[in-house]
C-alpha cells in the first residue's frame, strides 16, 4: 500500500479514503441493535451491515471481529450528565438516581444492562470496557456527593461509601428490573434515598 504526503506532512494511504459516514453508521447501527435487546452473541454482522446500509466488506475492512466492533461502539457512549452540585446531599442523590432511572428507559443506554449483566462472563473485555465507560463515572459522581455530605456533616463521618453506593445503585437497578410492569416508579428515587438516609432502625427520638 503506497502512501501519499499531505500538506501537513501526515502520511496518508493512496486511493479513495475511507468514508467516515459509513463508519459512523456502522457504530450507530451496532448500538441500535444492542439497544433493542440483541445480545452480543446473536448480533450478526449481516444485520449490522443491513441496518447501516453498508456492505459487509466495509465492516470487515475495519474490524476483524465482532468484539472489536462492539468495544469501539461502546467507546462512543457519552459520559453521564454532570450533577448539579447545588442543593442538599439528599436532593443531589434524588436527582442523580432520577437520571439513572430515566436513562434505563432509553434505548441507547438500555444496552448497558444487557451487555453488562449477561455477557460479562463470556466477554470479559467488553465487561471491563463497559465498567470504565458507564459504571465508574457514575460511581465517581455519587461518591463525590457522599463525601461532600460527610464533610458538611449532612452524612455520618464514618459512612462506608462503597456500601452506600451499592445500596443506592443496586436498589435502582433492582427495582427497574424486577418490579411488576404496571407499577408506577415516579417516586422511586425519593423513596430509595429517604430510606437509605434514614436507615432501618428507629431513632432514639422515635421509639
Q: Which does 100 bind (CB under 5 to 8 A by kind): DNA, a second copy, none?
A: none
Strand partners, 11: 5
What residue 122 binds from DNA, a second copy, none (CB within 5 to 8 A, per partner kind)? a second copy
Residue 94 or 111: the one with the smaller Cβ distance to DNA is 111
Within 10 angstroms of residue 188's Cβ, the number of other Cβ atoms is: 19
Binding site for a second copy (CB under 8 A): 37, 39, 41-42, 113-114, 116-122, 131, 135, 146, 149, 153-157, 159-160, 162-164, 166-175, 177-178, 191-192, 194-207
| E-strand stretches of the chain | 3-5, 11-13
Q: At closest approach, how far in Å is the CB of 52 from a second copy?
A: 22
Q: Shortest distance, CB of residue 199 to a second copy, whole angstroms?
A: 2
For helices 66-75 and 20-35, give the axis angle rounded to 10 degrees: 90
Q: 54 or 89: whose CB is closer to a second copy?
A: 89
Nearer to DNA, 43 or 113 (CB): 43
Residue 44 or 179: the one with the smaller Cβ distance to DNA is 44
Q: Which is nearer to DNA, 57 or 184 (CB)?
A: 57
Burial status of residue 137 (CB atoms within 10 A of its CB: 0-12, 13-18, 19 or more): middle
Using CA atoms of 20, 25, 26, 30 in order, give the dihedral in degrees to the nearest 10. 140
Tell me how many helices (H) and strands (E) the chain has. 10, 2
Residue 37 site contact among DNA, a second copy, none (CB < 5 to 8 Å, cut-off depends on kind):
a second copy
Provide the minimum distance between the beta carbon of 128 and a second copy in the complex, in angstroms, as a whole number: 10
CA-based radius of gyration for the chain: 22
Amino acid at each position: 500500500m503506497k502512501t501519499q504526503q499531505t500538506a501537513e506532512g501526515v502520511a496518508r494511504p493512496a486511493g479513495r479514503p475511507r468514508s467516515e459516514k459509513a463508519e459512523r453508521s456502522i457504530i450507530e447501527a451496532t448500538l441500535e441493535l444492542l439497544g433493542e435487546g440483541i445480545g452480543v452473541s446473536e448480533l450478526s454482522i449481516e444485520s449490522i451491515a443491513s441496518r447501516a446500509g453498508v456492505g459487509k466488506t466495509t465492516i470487515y475492512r475495519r474490524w476483524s471481529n465482532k468484539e472489536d466492533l462492539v468495544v469501539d461502539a461502546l467507546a462512543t457512549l457519552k459520559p453521564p450528565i454532570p450533577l448539579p452540585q447545588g442543593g442538599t446531599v439528599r436532593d443531589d442523590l434524588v436527582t442523580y438516581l432520577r437520571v439513572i432511572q430515566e436513562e434505563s428507559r432509553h434505548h441507547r443506554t438500555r444496552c448497558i444492562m444487557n451487555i453488562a449483566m449477561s455477557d460479562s462472563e463470556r466477554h470479559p473485555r467488553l465487561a471491563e470496557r463497559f465498567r470504565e465507560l458507564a459504571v465508574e463515572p457514575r460511581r465517581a459522581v455519587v461518591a463525590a456527593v457522599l463525601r461532600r455530605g460527610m464533610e458538611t456533616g449532612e452524612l455520618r463521618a464514618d459512612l462506608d461509601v462503597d456500601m452506600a453506593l451499592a445500596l443506592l445503585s443496586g436498589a435502582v437497578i433492582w427495582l427497574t428490573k424486577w418490579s411488576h410492569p404496571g407499577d408506577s416508579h415516579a417516586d422511586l428515587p425519593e423513596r430509595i434515598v429517604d430510606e437509605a438516609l434514614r436507615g432501618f432502625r428507629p431513632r432514639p427520638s422515635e421509639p
